[in-house]
Structure 1
Amino acid sequence: MTLWSAVLLACIACMLLKLAGYLTPTHWLDKPRTARITDLLTVALLAALVATQTLASGQSIVLDARVPAVIVAAILLSVRAPFLLVVLAGAVTAALLRLWGLAA
């Protein structure tokens, strides 16, 4: 299988999944348990994505400038700082740590 055929198959799978969402009966989704599971699933997937992008480098776990940057961003989010400030503070934290040679 070539790269392009894999990309095409992934696109088709995504379209079918989206179509399945549109075709799902609304009474299945209106139940409180289903709504709670979908809300929690979204948070869990986002947390997994942040952890993977922060700690992973290839097949290994790496502690570098990204970890303190995410911690700074989390602290600013907890005090409800504007999102642009959160992103800038995280980027500046990582940049300064790399500049000073404290993290790779």
Structure 2
Amino acid sequence: MAKVYWISVYRSITDPDRLAAYAKVSGQALTAAGGKILARGEPAVTKEAGQPLRTVILEFESVEAARAAYDSPGYQEALRILGPGSAERDIRIIEAI
């Protein structure tokens, strides 16, 4: 079965302190739910229309596992810590080929 990747791109960050608190809790919650953090931070290089936006990439065994991780109590607590308006993100869950 193909792996699944959760990709978060931060379009804007308005509260870096809340983001840091969120990152601690979310990382623990997502790895506890079976996710493996592959990369996080700003890109080393961008090309074409790329922008130097914070990006996080996690690997999961299935779409269902990634969805369950998002819905887990631990990750929902992380989202509560992040709060509305602290960051604007684009989160995608995609299957590998």
TM range (shorter): under 0.3
TM-score, structure 2 normalization: 0.26
Q: Which has the higher helix share?
A: 1
Q: Which has the higher strand share?
A: 2
Higher relative CO (Cα under 8 Å, sequence separation at least 6) belongs to: 2
